[in-house]
Amino acid sequence: MTTDPAKLAAEIDAVNEVPAAPPTPDDQTSANQPSPDQPNTDQAPRTLGTNYNVAPTSTILTVVERHSHGDPHDDPRLRVRAMRWGLVPTWAKEVGKGPLLFNARAETAAEKSSFRSSVKSKRCLVPMDGWYEWKPGPENSKGKPTKIPFFMSPKDGTRLFMAGLWSAWHDRTDPDAPPLLSCTILTTDAVGDLREVHDRMPRIMPYDSWDAWLDPDHPAPSELFAPPSEAIADAIAIREVSPLVNRVANNGPELLAPV
């Protein structure tokens, strides 16, 4: 994820469709796969900005490939859009009453009513600097199991792009309201050393697969729903970080400091 949509759009030659926002001094953000210690209550969406601890229902950046509005015959273009992290199915009656669909299992997404239509034609990329995951730890002084947080990020400091699905939800009680754009991140079985932290991982999408994954007019190849190659996983650095990340209220660069 990035806090500067214009910069991201320039990097990937995309159209920036995110409304202008005041500049921020830093653009590093990290996705927080919710910990068992972190409440998943539906909260008001957090706006784009410097964010080291992104939680479900936050507003995040995504990359889609779409035709121009009203011209389905033109060549589709990459577009940067802001979306709610936590997909709201088109058939949902209202926002916030169902489960927080922040992740979707790649193996079964096409079979689920919440994701089926998105798998067909609304696939996206979710840019991020890295992600958090938790590994079972020893029992604490009260005899309860603990979770040890880890941060995964590219060894070369580049940006990651994760496979995702998106949806445009319309409020039936207000036909004039703009659609709510929301997304979910696909997960697969973990590969390589990442399995030592957790058995699942976000599906990293390499650049040479973008065209096939984002194509709005054709289904994505089945292999893009499979776990990534171990070579991709080998390029990810894994480090233990502070349990401060277990609280969404904590949000600063100290969350990324190695323990």
CATH of the domain at 188: 3.90.1680.10
Place of tokens 């709510």: 180
Predicted structure pTM score:
0.88
Q: Is residue 34 part of a domain?
A: no
Q: Is residue 153 part of a domain?
A: yes
| pLDDT at 141 (0 to 100) | 86
| Residue 94 belongs to domain spanning | 5-17+49-256
Q: Is residue 121 part of a domain?
A: yes
Q: Is residue 37 part of a domain?
A: no
Query: Number of folded domains in the chain?
Result: 1
Q: Is residue 128 part of a domain?
A: yes
Please report, in tens digits, the pLDDT of each residue of the chain (259 residues total). Answer: 556 899 999 999 999 999 875 555 455 556 665 544 433 333 334 456 778 999 999 999 999 999 998 777 789 999 999 999 999 999 999 998 889 999 999 999 999 999 999 999 999 999 999 999 999 998 888 888 899 999 999 999 999 999 999 999 999 999 899 999 999 999 999 999 999 999 999 999 999 999 999 999 999 999 999 999 999 999 999 999 999 999 999 999 999 999 9
- Using CA atoms in the order 252, 36, 86, 105, what is the torsion angle rounded to 10 degrees? 120
Tokens of 163: 């496979």
* Residues 6 or more apart in contact with residue 63 via CB below 8 angstroms: 8, 12, 14, 78, 79, 80, 81, 124, 125, 126, 127, 161, 214
Share of the chain above pLDDT 90, in %: 78
Q: What are phi and psi of 244, to 5 degrees?
A: -55, -30
| pLDDT at 126 (0 to 100) | 97
| pLDDT at 33 (0 to 100) | 59
Mean pLDDT, the chain, integer:
89
Q: Is residue 91 part of a domain?
A: yes
Q: Is residue 22 part of a domain?
A: no
Using a 10 angstrom Cβ sphere, with 0-12 exposed, 13-18 middle and 19 or more buried, the burial of residue 161 is buried
Secondary structure letter of residue 213 according to DSSP: H
